[in-house]
Amino acid sequence: MSSLILLFGSLGLGILLQRVRDFPINSPLVLNQFIIYISLPALALYYIPDVKLDSTVLLPVGVAWICFAASALFFWSLGKIFGWSRKLIGCLILTAGLGNTSFIGFPVIEALYGSEGLKTAILIDQPGTFVVLSTLGIALAAVFSKGQPDIKAISKKILLFPPFIMFFLALLLNVLHISLSEELKDVFQRLGSTVTPLALVSVGMQLHIERRSKHWRFLALGLFFQLILAPLLIYLLYVQVLGVRGELAQISIMEAAMAPMITASIVAASYGLKPRLANMMIGFGIPISFLTLTIWYWLINGI
């Protein structure tokens, strides 16, 4: 319950702060930069060194990569057919292709499947969603925010992306079996825990409900993909094709059905990929996802 209060409370606080003149106009940008440079790297250093790396991680890790690839194919194809702008296509791929597998996913999965289920959720999030965003997500944002892709510039953005750097440092610690002290882990955990409140306050400060907005139909399409089509794809691949059963399959489907990833929205906004639509995906996606997650849980409970 505390996680839900934090989610909706932070979003509501951000909306209220829109009317506080003491906050500079660029406050959301500052919050976003703190998340990218401090909070996310701290999360990588907290989780990755302790992740067990073996063949059993392939299915959970694959969830994010499959959903992102499907999102890219889906929205790129629609964009070409209907003549959408590159920024619109890029925004939809990023925000609908990556789910909130940690800050919403972790508490939901732990509540439904316990601590053992949380271990699977971490595999889906860290080597999966987190790495996809840090590599393909940054590359896509760079490409779709500019007219012509510059391989050298894009590679530089990926390699210098702070969460990406810390991910590989944490992965090196994992491979070398180097454990961090409990004191350091506590520090990283506390810094990493700032992602959810800061990100949602940032989203709330930028969220404006415009009844005549041109983004409503794209919002509906993006949420339809993220909340319905993505988990349906994982269900068909994992359960119907690969024959996976039990909690592994259920958790994979549930994580695929999470609301859009907050950090992906921040990246989209930072690169000028339809910031208002990106924020709407989070602002509306989070509350709607609790309804769709309930339906998915009821549908897959027996597999």
CA distance 285 to 222: 9
**Residue 257, in any domain of the structure:** yes
Q: Is the pLDDT of residue 145 over 90?
A: no
- Would you say 189 and 46 are in contact if contact means Cβ atoms under 8 Å apart? yes
- Would you say 226 and 105 are in contact if contact means Cβ atoms under 8 Å apart? no
**Residue 196, in any domain of the structure:** yes
**Residue 14, in any domain of the structure:** no
pLDDT tens, position by position, 192-250: 888 778 877 887 887 766 667 688 999 999 999 999 999 999 999 999 999 999 999 99
What pLDDT shows up at residue 1?
Answer: 63
* CATH number of residue 140's parent domain: 1.20.1530.20
Mean pLDDT of the chain: 87
What is the pTM (predicted TM-score) of this model?
Answer: 0.81
Average pLDDT over residues 251-277: 92
Q: How confident is the model at residue 56 (pLDDT cuts 50, 70, 90)?
A: low
What pLDDT shows up at residue 98?
Answer: 96
**Residue 109, in any domain of the structure:** yes
Average pLDDT over residues 17-29: 86
What pLDDT shows up at residue 237?
Answer: 96
- Would you say 129 and 67 are in contact if contact means Cβ atoms under 8 Å apart? no
What pLDDT shows up at residue 250?
Answer: 96
Question: What range does the domain containing 149 cover?
Answer: 26-300
Tell me which residue of 175, 194, 201, 174 sits closest to 279, measured CA to CA: 201
β-strand partners of 99: 260
Which helix (H) or strand (E) segment holds residue 186: the answer is helix 182-192
Q: How confident is the model at residue 60 (pLDDT cuts 50, 70, 90)?
A: very high
pLDDT tens, position by position, 148-203: 566 777 777 778 888 888 888 988 998 898 889 999 999 999 998 887 788 778 87
**Residue 12, in any domain of the structure:** no
Average pLDDT over residues 77-93: 96
Number of domains in the chain: 1
Q: Is the pLDDT of residue 267 over 80?
A: yes
